Amino acid sequence: MNPVTRQWREPAGVSAHEVVAVSPGAQLDAPLGASDADDLVHGLYREHAVTLVRMAKLLLRDRESAEDAVQDAFLGLYRALDRLTDHDDLTPYLRAAVINRCRSVLRTRRRAMLRPVQHEPEVSSPESAAMAAEERRAVLDAVSQLPRRAREVLVLRYYLGLTDEQVAATLSVSRGTVSSTASRAIAALGKTLKEDL
Amino acid sequence: MTIEDKLRDAFRADGESVRPETIRPLGARLGNHPDSDRPLRPRRLTIPLLAAAGVAVIALGASVAVPKLLPADVVKHRLGPASRAASTGIPAARFPLAARSLAGGYPDGRLPADPMPRYFVGITYPGRKPATEYAFTVAVYSSATGKIVARLSPPEPGRYFQAVAAIGDDNTFVAAATPGFPRPGDCRTWLYEFRLTASGTPTGLTPLAVPEVTGWASQSSLAGSGNGSLITYSTYGCTRTGGGSTGPYTLGEIDLRTRKSRSWSNPEVAAIRGAGSPEDYQFSGLPALSDGGLFSFVRGGNITSMAALLVRLTEPAVEVRRVLTSPGTGGVLATALSPNARVTFALTVRRPTYPYTIQLGAYDTATGQLLRTWDAASHQGIGSELMTADPSGGHLLVAGFPDPLNQITVVSVATGEAATLSLTQASMPLDIAW
């Protein structure tokens, strides 16, 4: 394990507060106007927000954080629109962006994630009331104990219904990794659920 | 029903608990959002760019010219946070004087030439226990390779290490442990002391004979002073159903010479990382504590307004001075202090979108002036929030940097050399101390 070495550099004589005034992301060639970008991103939000929030909630087990992650992903998309060449299918980008933000949230709140989660379903709807069923709770609890990548693979595969190729593209891993991760995760779940139920 | 079917069923049912009509609208988060620094058309940028350039030139001119024109004591009051702190009645003398240079932030105006400690320690979650059991252990890492050379298990069943801090020298550490499962009536934190042998073996794990610490410690919630006299900690209270990341928050200080402690309940700066609502201030804990009892905090109401703060524990209320504010979305991720607190090292986000850029900077604590900087691109996202300095302040250890998932960077303050160590994801620490 050889460390990679780099070097500090002197700042260009500006103070911390002056750095604030210089936008590092400023680019001059923007193909979309602000209102076009607004319309595009709002349209995508209307179309995909619910699914993405649900996906993020499965990964984070927390509704508020899930919504934050999705909102941040769309805000990031808005900023990045000019650097993205394919505006016709931004769904994979959004999926990956939400997953990246979920990872950040999990790292920030790893302490909370590793604590046993009291999964309290909302009781205001028949669907969520049904969630109180012991088996579903056990399944979700067991999933939450899996390694991060395994959780992501399972959610993308069995909630979003993505193919292994799409999962691989979203997570930037090989298709073989997706298959093996899913197999191990299913096996681990089977063992855990057998013990718990 | 197969496992796959159970998964689909559970996921579907959980997903349906999120009703479309309850999703927050995206609304003003785009064009009108203060952080929406999306590039615009050239013609729309002309005037703002000129204005920004003008501001930068004026500010740059001021920062360069003012020190040449005014006597030192006047300069101190003309620059940034120091003047604001003075105007709010905080005795300026109790906070550090300006370092003016990186070396000025160290005793005798000299950068330390001490070799880095051979080992650092971290809290890890090996994840090999049954699903219902969590084992947070102390891991000892080689500073040269990042390889784990030893582990220290929790002292007894039901207690789990959460945070660790160096105290006094690079061989002595304090670790905080909490119950594994939060329960009312069990809302406390235990503190332990241990040492490393020359070969990196942890030894002599003993409970610290100090007053009981109430609440739960989390990662980065513990700091020790280099002279071995003080420990500060932050904890959060337990809710009726168990742990919970909402108050009451407690900030505490333990004097190891007298074994006395004092604490502040719900002080302005005591909320711990992970506090929920955007209205709540969030802090990344107590990453550094100087010999003078000053410690650094990262604070932010949300991801757009993070600031590195220097905090002094005084009664009845703590005193706070802002060292720097984040340049944009992403904020200040972590801080560390030189031994006399005159230099604040901060990890900030320069570019919050792909490819992410994170900057490690050394700032003059008194003036907020950037003294050294090191940018790193990350293709994995932003996540690092752990940084610590060795006892001499001559080396920095930054976990999750530049890759938040599996890299640690060791920086020599004196030479500027930065070495990146690659770790496995399972060995990435949740907290670090050197």
Q: What is the distance between the terminal CA atoms of chain B, rounded to a whole angstrom?
A: 51
* Rounded average pLDDT over B392-396: 90
Q: Which of B52-61, B267-276, B314-323, B415-424 is predicted least confidently? A: B52-61
Q: What pLDDT shows up at residue B131? A: 40
Query: Is there a cis peptide before residue B355, judged by omega within 30 degrees of 0?
Result: yes
Q: Check if the beta carbon of residue B411 is closer than 8 Å to that of residue B394.
A: no
Q: What pLDDT shows up at residue B401? A: 75
Identity of the residue in A10, A23, A125 whose CB atom sits nearest the CB atom of B37: A23
For chain B, domains (ranges, CATH) are: 107-433 (2.120.10.30)
* Rounded average pLDDT over B300-307: 52
Q: Check if the beta carbon of residue B237 is closer than 8 Å to that of residue B185.
A: no
CA distance B320 to B312: 6
Residue B202 has pLDDT above 80, yes or no: yes
| Contact check, Cβ <8 Å, B42/A76 | no
Nearest CA in chain A to B274: A109
CA distance B341 to B321: 12
Q: What pLDDT shows up at residue B195? A: 94
Query: Which residues of chain B have a CB within 8 Å of the CB of A4?
Result: 419-420
Q: Name which residue leads in pLDDT, A42 or A157.
A: A157
| Contact check, Cβ <8 Å, B56/A14 | yes
Q: Check if the beta carbon of residue B251 is closer than 8 Å to that of residue B269.
A: yes
| Contact check, Cβ <8 Å, A125/B241 | no
User: Which residues, in sequence order, are bridge partners of residue B213?
Assistant: B189
Alpha-helical runs (H) found in B70-96 = 72-78, 80-87
Query: Which residues of chain A have a CB within 8 Å of the CB of B430?
Result: 110-111
pTM value?
A: 0.56
What single-letter amino acid sits at B234? S
From the centroid of its chain, how far is CA A126?
Answer: 27
φ, ψ dihedrals at A93, nearest 5° = -60, -45
Identity of the residue in A49, A79, A127 whose CB atom sits nearest the CB atom of B37: A79
Alpha-helical runs (H) found in B121-253 = none
Tokens 């304090």, located at residue: B174
| Contact check, Cβ <8 Å, B15/A57 | yes
Residue B373 has pLDDT above 90, yes or no: no
C-alpha to C-alpha distances, A111 to B197, B362, B407, B426, nearest whole angstrom: 29, 29, 19, 15
Tokens 């769904």, located at residue: A91
Residue A155 has pLDDT above 90, yes or no: yes
Q: Domain A32-115, CATH 3.40.30 — does that match?
A: no
For chain B, what percent of residues have pLDDT higher than 90?
A: 13
Q: How many CB atoms lie within 10 A of CB A139?
A: 25
Q: What pLDDT shows up at residue A127? A: 42
CA distance B338 to B328: 25
Q: What pLDDT shows up at residue B90? A: 28
Q: Which of A66-70, A80-84, B46-50, B355-359 is predicted least confidently? A: B46-50
Q: Name which residue leads in pLDDT, B218 or A167.
A: A167
φ, ψ dihedrals at B194, nearest 5° = -150, 165
The string of pLDDT tens digits covering residues B275-298 is: 333 333 344 556 666 666 677 766
Q: Check if the beta carbon of residue B308 is closer than 8 Å to that of residue B294.
A: no
CA distance B323 to B343: 10
From the centroid of its chain, how far is CA A171?
Answer: 10
Nearest CA in chain B to A23: B37
Q: Name which residue leads in pLDDT, B112 or A20.
A: B112
* Rounded average pLDDT over B191-198: 94
Kindly state the tokens that stand for B318.
């703590």
Q: What pLDDT shows up at residue A17? A: 23
Coil vs helix vs strand at B132:
coil
Alpha-carbon Rg for chain B in angstroms: 23
Kindly state the tokens that stand for A196.
């718990």
Q: Check if the beta carbon of residue B80 is closer than 8 Å to that of residue B308.
A: no
The string of pLDDT tens digits covering residues B57-77 is: 333 333 332 222 222 222 222
Question: Would you kindly state where each structural domain of chain A is located, as residue ranges?
Answer: 32-115, 131-197
Instruction: Give the best-scoring range by mean pLDDT among A38-42, B54-58, B84-88, B377-381.
Output: A38-42
Q: Check if the beta carbon of residue B363 is closer than 8 Å to that of residue B298.
A: no
The string of pLDDT tens digits covering residues A25-35 is: 222 233 456 66
Tokens 């030192």, located at residue: B72
Nearest CA in chain B to A18: B56
Q: Which of B142, B148, B174, B166 is nearest to B336 (CA)?
A: B166
The contacts of residue A151 (CB under 8 Å, 6+ apart) are A58, A59, A143, A144, A185
- Domain A32-115 and domain A131-197 have a common topology: no
DSSP state, residue B284 = -
Residue B256 has pLDDT above 80, yes or no: yes
Q: Which of B230, B223, B233 is nearest to B165 (CA)?
A: B223
Q: What pLDDT shows up at residue B193? A: 94
Average pLDDT, rounded, for chain A:
69
What single-letter amino acid sits at A82? D
Confidence band for B347, pLDDT divided at 50, 70 and 90 = confident
Kindly state the tokens that stand for B3.
């496992």
Q: What pLDDT shows up at residue A62? A: 75
Q: CB-based burial of residue B265 (10 Å sphere; 0-12 exposed, 13-18 middle, 19+ buried)?
A: middle
Q: What pLDDT shows up at residue B126? A: 66
C-alpha to C-alpha distances, B336 to A61, A191, B353, B388, B395, nearest whole angstrom: 32, 44, 25, 6, 11
Instruction: Give the best-scoring range by mean pLDDT among A55-64, B243-252, B263-272.
Output: A55-64
Q: Check if the beta carbon of residue B130 is closer than 8 Å to that of residue B363.
A: no
Q: Domain A131-197, CATH 3.50.50.60 — does that match?
A: no
Identity of the residue in B36, B127, B371 whose CB atom sits nearest the CB atom of A147: B127
Q: What pLDDT shows up at residue B426? A: 74
Identity of the residue in A24, A82, A139 whose CB atom sits nearest the CB atom of B6: A139
Q: Check if the beta carbon of residue B272 is closer than 8 Å to that of residue A111.
A: no
Q: Check if the beta carbon of residue B339 is closer than 8 Å to that of residue B226.
A: yes
Nearest CA in chain B to A153: B7
User: Which residues, in sequence order, are bridge partners of residue B196?
Assistant: B202
Query: Which residues of chain A have a CB within 8 Å of the CB of B369?
Result: 15-16
Confidence band for B329, pLDDT divided at 50, 70 and 90 = low
